A and B are shown apart, each in its own frame.
Chain A
Amino acid sequence: MWKKALSAALLATGLAASPAAWAEAPAPYQITPELEAAAKAEGKVVFYTATDVAVAEKLAELFKSKYPGIAVQVERAGSERVFQRIGQEYSTGIYNADVIETSDAVHFEYFKRQGWLAPMVPQEVADKWPADERDPDGNFAAYRAHLSVIAYRTDLMKDADAPKTWEDLLDPRFKDKMVKAHPGYSGTVMTSTFVLSQLLGWDYFEKLGKQNIMQVQSSTEPPKKLAQGERALEVDGNEYNVFRLIDEGKPIKIVYPDEGTPLAVGNAAVLKQAPNPNAAKLFYAFLFSLDAQQLNSDFGGLRSFHPGVKEKADRTPLSKIKILHSDPEKLEPEIPTIKANYEKYFGT
């Protein structure tokens, strides 16, 4: 794949002697009436996403109201499941997906290496996105970000009893009370497990595994288990789902531990083999538009890299939180270890 993509690129540019030219992002594009018309002719865009299904469907609705006549097929699963699905499909020559988005940054390095992505840079991204939140070659950009947070039910746990640090979670008083998502399913949790294993060591997880934790799959699920009252405390889970539930009036509070909170960045990209290339291009540009990003923030509780987005006043701004960043290049070789250790300490 890699070789094929490379030679194709070389042939196309005719610059076989200068590999640097291949690594340059294409010129930014804007949404033109021609692009809209071409997208409408295709009539459909298929969006593989790991964002919570209600948020993703809301975004699709906004797109449909802006560009009537183009249906959006939302395929939501956990990041690692989306990755598995696209891997299975591409290895068997099935090209269903137009635009893809997961919260595991490693995936996009992999896609890029495989040459599966079509480089393109929406004007909005070129103008407004911080340089380290987009691929220098223009293959992908950070469409969303969110923290993986500790949170608890205020009616089931007093504020004074709530944990303040990661180490607090090892206290026997939290035994049987916690719920946690799975790194084999969730990109967010894969990222946070990596970051925390670097920070606290694997023996931290070994001890945590003895706390009799309820294991769920998606990082969207622990907040929902809190909302149900099934558990009083979540070890990890999407900050944005917690925001949404707080907005709905559920008695939940977030803890930003002293050691820091892991950040998961959700990249998005257009696939080279997209069956609806124009609709994909249009949808991709739409994803980074202020309207879409503001909707993600208001309805979805997601963090945005668009400087124009205004967050609701009751949310702690990122600038006030100690953030733990992950390096996808260092994470990637660790994935088998993380999965194996996790199964060893947590059983699945």
Chain B
Amino acid sequence: MTSDIQVQALPVQGRRRSIDFSWPTFALLTLVLSVLVLLPLFWLVYYSFRSDTGAGATFANYIALVADPTLLRAYGLAIGMALAVGVLACIIATPMAWLVARTDLPGRRTIRMLVTASFVTPPFLGAIAYEILAAPNSGIVNIMYRSVFGLEASEYLVNIYTFSGLVFAIACFTFPYVFTLVANALDKVPSDLEDASSILGGKSMTTLRKVTIPLVLPAMLAGTLIAILQALTMFGSPAILALPAGFHVITTKIWSLFQFPPRLGLAAAAALPLLIITVILLRAQKSILGRKGYTVLGGKSGTPRITELGPWKWPAIAFVFCVLSLTIILPYLAIIKTAFTGTVGDPINLSTLTLSHWRFVLFEFSATQLALRNTFLLGFLTATAVTAIALIVSYLVIRRSVPGSGFLGVLATAPVAIPGIVLGVGLFLSYANPTFQLYGTIWILLIAFMTIELPAGYQQMSSAFSGVHPELEEAGRIVGASRLRTLWDITAPLLRTSVVAAWCFVFVGTIRELSATILLTTANTKLVSVIIYDLNESGDLGAICVLGIILLAASFAVVFIANRVPVLGGSQMNTRG
């Protein structure tokens, strides 16, 4: 759509005569975003008031929502789980972020990189890795525990199929949110405030307690809220770990309402409180982050103070190594081990090593190729579309070129409040009907992914835009180029690095999505995440690990290439200076 507009905008003869396409673009984007965001929500509300038996308008679904103990229990467990995940993630991530950002801990860059890797890992794959590691009997950790201490077969150290196991497995893959936010905040805390504290006689611990921590507290809370939100709306990990333990959380419960004959009305009604909780949490986050202003009071007025760890270096290294082992090293080793041995319980030796899972996945399993193709096609399409839309929207919003453009920003951020499974239900209700026959095509998935990823893309692009001074664009406009042409020829190249980063971010987010996907795929629109989930339900862990390795390798490769291709700017060209 942008290319059409560009082509028409090409014959620019002078500023006066060319049409300013800001308005049509604005109108078009408003329409597109409204359809993306508002339509599914409308149908969700509509269906929640409709009887599943076709008896017309009803409150029965809402009555069932408060009267059905299984639904209430699922909500209670989900909220408890999410809170516990938030607290745990915060406890793990904050000290680690401080160590990485503000101390002389060796290998800080590598640690940051590894934490990013744990962000790329789809949480459902992490949950499966923990099944392999910490199932009470066949888990590698428990087998080692028994053989080291010579214990009975019924003894075990850890059991992942429990509420606490689930909390732990989710926290392992959501702590990067807290880590990144806190580490960035610590990078920005001006050293002069801390210097002032020292000058006044504060010891380093006092400074940490009285100055540094209060300054990053908003980031900590915000990160924790994101972790809570992630856990609350997650589908894959609870489906993998909570169901064997014999309990539902709300996302798996909603999914079970889709069993044939589907109870769409109840599913819609059960999804709405999740939406409301999410909105409340996000508002809380906003009001906390709104105070962030004073964090960067001094601007980047100096390099952050580095604390020397001294004798604490070794405990610190041990702590970081422990966290990284639990979140990255052990899960990845478990996945690799399972991909190359017969069954999970097998020890590693020459007789158990096998390529049979690889043969099965690559040559016998007929869904592999289709799923890989769909996954990467959708990844590319979503990343490109979202980046393009986010670029234009953030331009319109930041430069305020059209009155009311702030509304676009709101629309582009709104989906952040819609949990994946809720969006899945909404999209299913909107587009799986005889009028819009999008269910069963990849387009419904594209719509879902675009909606889910838009806020992330928009956030990245708009923060990048605020770093580019408008004077260069003004120069372009004075020479006579239209707004869009200026955007394309001047601003976009200046933003290359951010554009590539946003693209990669969306791409990775797309291929790890499961909660909306699970409701929207059909036989011909399989994605790797869904076949991994299907294979998990039939217990084929070896095949899952092979697919997981392929998925991870491909995601890392795409991210790597996108950052290296010279046309795209390459990460070394930091045009923002």
Q: A residues engaging B (CB < 8 A)?
A: 46, 48, 52-54, 57-58, 60-61, 71-78, 80-81, 83-85, 87-89, 92-94, 96-97, 156, 176-177, 182, 184-185, 213-218, 220-221, 224-225, 227-232, 339, 343, 346-348
- Report yes or no: B539 in contact with A221, Cβ–Cβ below 8 A: yes
- Report yes or no: B344 in contact with A228, Cβ–Cβ below 8 A: yes
- Report yes or no: B537 in contact with A217, Cβ–Cβ below 8 A: yes
Choose the segment among B242-250, B281-289, B292-300, B394-402 that binds chain A (4+ C-beta atoms closer than 8 Å): B242-250
Most A CB contacts (10 A, CB to CB) among B135, B344, B433, B522 go to: B522
CB-defined contacts of B161 to chain A, threshold 8 Å = 214
CB-defined contacts of A228 to chain B, threshold 8 Å = 135, 137-138, 343-345, 541
Give the complex CA separation of A80 and B259 in angstroms: 7
- Report yes or no: A92 in contact with B244, Cβ–Cβ below 8 A: no
CB-defined contacts of A60 to chain B, threshold 8 Å = 366
Contact of A97 among B135, B262, B523, B540 (CB under 8 A): B523
Give the complex CA separation of A71 and B366 in angstroms: 9
- Report yes or no: B259 in contact with A84, Cβ–Cβ below 8 A: yes
Give the complex CA separation of A72 and B367 in angstroms: 10
22 contacts between A and B (CB under 8 A): A52-B538, A53-B365, A53-B538, A54-B360, A61-B364, A73-B370, A84-B262, A85-B523, A88-B439, A89-B440, A156-B153, A176-B154, A184-B256, A218-B538, A221-B539, A224-B343, A228-B135, A228-B137, A230-B137, A230-B345, A232-B153, A348-B243
Give the complex CA separation of A60 and B539 in angstroms: 21
Give the complex CA separation of A176 and B370 in angstroms: 40
Give the complex CA separation of A348 and B524 in angstroms: 29
User: In the assembled complex, how far is the CB of residue B461 from the closest CB belonging to chain A, in whole angstroms?
Assistant: 35
Give the complex CA separation of A346 and B70 in angstroms: 12
User: In the assembled complex, how far is the CB of residue A227 from the closest CB belonging to chain B, in whole angstroms?
Assistant: 5
- Report yes or no: A88 in contact with B345, Cβ–Cβ below 8 A: no
- How would residues 486 to 513 of chain B score, 1 for a CB under 8 Å from any chain A CB and 0 otherwise? 0000000000000000000000000000
User: In the assembled complex, how far is the CB of residue A286 from the closest CB belonging to chain B, in whole angstroms?
Assistant: 16
CB-defined contacts of A54 to chain B, threshold 8 Å = 360, 364, 540
- Report yes or no: B539 in contact with A224, Cβ–Cβ below 8 A: yes
Going nearest first, the 6 A-B pairs with the smallest beta carbon separation are A347-B246, A224-B539, A221-B539, A94-B440, A87-B260, A84-B260
- A57-B364, A80-B259 known; 13 new pairs, CB 8 Å cut-off, are A60-B366, A78-B537, A88-B262, A89-B522, A93-B437, A96-B522, A217-B537, A218-B537, A218-B539, A220-B538, A221-B538, A224-B343, A229-B137
Contact of B246 among A71, A230, A232, A346 (CB under 8 A): A346
CB-defined contacts of A76 to chain B, threshold 8 Å = 534, 538
Contact of A348 among B248, B262, B432 (CB under 8 A): B248
Contact of B259 among A92, A176, A184, A218 (CB under 8 A): A184
Give the complex CA separation of A230 and B135 in angstroms: 7
- Report yes or no: A53 in contact with B535, Cβ–Cβ below 8 A: yes
- Report yes or no: A343 in contact with B70, Cβ–Cβ below 8 A: yes
Task: Assess whether B258 is interfacial by the CB under 8 Å rule.
Answer: yes
- Report yes or no: B259 in contact with A230, Cβ–Cβ below 8 A: no
Give the complex CA separation of A148 and B271 in angstroms: 36
Residue of A whose beta carbon sits closest to that of B365? A57
Residue of B whose beta carbon sits closest to that of A212? B246
- DSSP class of B's interface residues: helix, strand, loop or mixed? loop
CB-defined contacts of B138 to chain A, threshold 8 Å = 225, 228-230
Contacts known (A94-B439, A184-B259); A73 close to B246, Cβ less than 8 A: no
Task: Assess whether B315 is interfacial by the CB under 8 Å rule.
Answer: no
CB-defined contacts of A213 to chain B, threshold 8 Å = 246
User: In the assembled complex, how far is the CB of residue B313 from the closest CB belonging to chain A, in whole angstroms?
Assistant: 41
CB-defined contacts of B56 to chain A, threshold 8 Å = none
- How would residues 117 to 148 of chain B score, 1 for a CB under 8 Å from any chain A CB and 0 otherwise? 00000000000000000011110000000000
Contacts known (A77-B534, A83-B260); A94 close to B367, Cβ less than 8 A: no
Contacts known (A57-B365, A60-B366, A216-B244); A225 close to B539, Cβ less than 8 A: yes
Q: B residues engaging A (CB < 8 A)?
A: 70, 135-138, 153-154, 161, 242-248, 252, 256, 258-262, 343-345, 360, 364-367, 370, 432-434, 437, 439-440, 522-524, 534-535, 537-541
CB-defined contacts of A346 to chain B, threshold 8 Å = 246
- Report yes or no: A214 in contact with B440, Cβ–Cβ below 8 A: no
Most B CB contacts (10 A, CB to CB) among A83, A92, A94 go to: A92
CB-defined contacts of A156 to chain B, threshold 8 Å = 153
- Report yes or no: B260 in contact with A80, Cβ–Cβ below 8 A: yes
CB-defined contacts of A77 to chain B, threshold 8 Å = 534, 537
Give the complex CA separation of A177 and B136 in angstroms: 10
Most A CB contacts (10 A, CB to CB) among B242, B437, B523 go to: B523
- Report yes or no: A215 in contact with B244, Cβ–Cβ below 8 A: yes
CB-defined contacts of A58 to chain B, threshold 8 Å = 364
CB-defined contacts of A231 to chain B, threshold 8 Å = 137
Most A CB contacts (10 A, CB to CB) among B344, B364, B538 go to: B538
User: In the assembled complex, how far is the CB of residue B47 from the closest CB belonging to chain A, in whole angstroms?
Assistant: 14
User: In the assembled complex, how far is the CB of residue B83 from the closest CB belonging to chain A, in whole angstroms?
Assistant: 21
Give the complex CA separation of A97 and B523 in angstroms: 8
User: In the assembled complex, how far is the CB of residue B536 from the closest CB belonging to chain A, in whole angstroms?
Assistant: 8
Residue of B whose beta carbon sits closest to that of A245? B343
Residue of A whose beta carbon sits closest to that of B261? A87
CB-defined contacts of B245 to chain A, threshold 8 Å = 214-215, 347
- Report yes or no: B539 in contact with A216, Cβ–Cβ below 8 A: yes
- Report yes or no: A88 in contact with B135, Cβ–Cβ below 8 A: no
Give the complex CA separation of A224 and B343 in angstroms: 9
User: In the assembled complex, how far is the CB of residue B245 from the closest CB belonging to chain A, in whole angstroms?
Assistant: 7
User: In the assembled complex, how far is the CB of residue B133 from the closest CB belonging to chain A, in whole angstroms?
Assistant: 12
Give the complex CA separation of A186 and B534 in angstroms: 13
CB-defined contacts of B523 to chain A, threshold 8 Å = 46, 48, 73, 75, 85, 96-97
CB-defined contacts of A184 to chain B, threshold 8 Å = 256, 259
Most A CB contacts (10 A, CB to CB) among B70, B439, B537 go to: B537
Contacts known (A61-B364, A221-B538, A227-B343); A215 close to B246, Cβ less than 8 A: yes
Contacts known (A80-B260, A220-B539); A92 close to B366, Cβ less than 8 A: no
CB-defined contacts of B540 to chain A, threshold 8 Å = 53-54, 224
User: In the assembled complex, how far is the CB of residue B138 from the closest CB belonging to chain A, in whole angstroms?
Assistant: 4
Contacts known (A156-B153, A220-B539, A348-B243); A92 close to B437, Cβ less than 8 A: yes
Contact of B244 among A85, A214, A227 (CB under 8 A): A214
Give the complex CA separation of A227 and B366 in angstroms: 25
CB-defined contacts of A80 to chain B, threshold 8 Å = 259-260
User: In the assembled complex, how far is the CB of residue B37 from the closest CB belonging to chain A, in whole angstroms?
Assistant: 22
Residue of B whose beta carbon sits closest to that of A223? B539
Contacts known (A48-B523, A343-B70); A348 close to B153, Cβ less than 8 A: no
CB-defined contacts of A53 to chain B, threshold 8 Å = 365, 535, 538, 540
Residue of B whose beta carbon sits closest to that of A185? B537
Give the complex CA separation of A230 and B131 in angstroms: 10
CB-defined contacts of B367 to chain A, threshold 8 Å = 73-75
User: In the assembled complex, how far is the CB of residue B158 from the closest CB belonging to chain A, in whole angstroms?
Assistant: 14
- Report yes or no: B440 in contact with A96, Cβ–Cβ below 8 A: yes
User: In the assembled complex, how far is the CB of residue A139 from the closest CB belonging to chain B, in whole angstroms?
Assistant: 19
Most A CB contacts (10 A, CB to CB) among B244, B262, B534 go to: B244
User: In the assembled complex, how far is the CB of residue A122 from the closest CB belonging to chain B, in whole angstroms?
Assistant: 23
CB-defined contacts of B434 to chain A, threshold 8 Å = 92-93
User: In the assembled complex, how far is the CB of residue B56 from the closest CB belonging to chain A, in whole angstroms?
Assistant: 19
Residue of A whose beta carbon sits closest to that of B439? A92
User: In the assembled complex, how far is the CB of residue A226 from the closest CB belonging to chain B, in whole angstroms?
Assistant: 10
Residue of B whose beta carbon sits closest to that of A97? B523
Give the complex CA separation of A48 and B440 in angstroms: 15
Give the complex CA separation of A107 and B556 in angstroms: 43
Give the complex CA separation of A61 and B523 in angstroms: 19
Residue of B whose beta carbon sits closest to that of A179? B244
CB-defined contacts of A230 to chain B, threshold 8 Å = 135-138, 344-345
Give the complex CA separation of A17 and B407 in angstroms: 66
Residue of B whose beta carbon sits closest to that of A80? B259
- Report yes or no: B437 in contact with A94, Cβ–Cβ below 8 A: yes
- Report yes or no: A221 in contact with B246, Cβ–Cβ below 8 A: no
User: In the assembled complex, how far is the CB of residue A110 from the closest CB belonging to chain B, in whole angstroms?
Assistant: 9
Contacts known (A93-B434, A94-B437); A217 close to B243, Cβ less than 8 A: yes
User: In the assembled complex, how far is the CB of residue B134 from the closest CB belonging to chain A, in whole angstroms?
Assistant: 11
